[in-house]
Amino acid sequence: MNARHDDERLADIVDAITAIRSHLTRGDLSDGLVFDAVRLRLIEIGEAVKLLDPNLVASEPDVKWSDAAGMRDWLAHHYFDTSRAVVEATVMEDLPPLEAAVLRLQARL
C-alpha cells in the first residue's frame, strides 16, 4: 500500500517543476542530457497527478489533469517517439498553470 498523501504528492510536483527549471538553466532541450532530465521529471509529475485524490483535483477544473497523466504514459512508453517540441510546449505552456493550481491546492490542505 502506498502511504504517500496528497500533500506529499503535491510537493513532489512542485519539486519536479523546480528541478525542470534548474535543468533548463544548464542548457535547452536540444542538449540530450537536459532533454532526458526534463522528460524524467515530467514522468514524475504525471505519476504524482495520477495518484492524487480525484475530488481534490476536481476543485481545480481549469487544469488538464488527465493530460498530465497521459503525458506520463506517453513519455514512459513512447520515449523514442517523443518530440522535443512537445516537451518544450508542455514545459512552457502547461507547467505554469499546473504549478499555480498545485500551490493553491497545497494552501487548502
- Give tens-digit pLDDT for 20-73: 999 999 999 999 999 999 999 999 999 999 999 999 999 999 999 999 999 999
* C-beta separation of 53 from 8 below 8 A: no
The CA–CA distances, whole Å, from 40 to 31, 36, 47 equal: 14, 6, 11
How far apart CA 82 and CA 76 sit, in angstroms, is 10
Q: Whole-model pTM above 0.95?
A: no
pLDDT at 101 over 90: yes
In the prediction, which pLDDT does 1 show? 45
Q: What grid cell was written down for 35?
A: 532533454
8 A C-beta contact, residue 38 and residue 29? yes
Rg of the chain over Cα atoms, rounded to whole angstroms, equals 14
Residue 81 has a pLDDT of 81
Judged by DSSP in three states, 28 sits in coil
Query: What is the domain partition of the chain in residue ranges?
Result: 6-108
Residue 3 confidence (pLDDT) above 80: no
Does residue 4 have a pLDDT over 90?
A: no
| Banded model confidence at residue 98, pLDDT cuts 50, 70, 90 | very high
Q: What is the mean pLDDT of residues 4-33?
A: 97
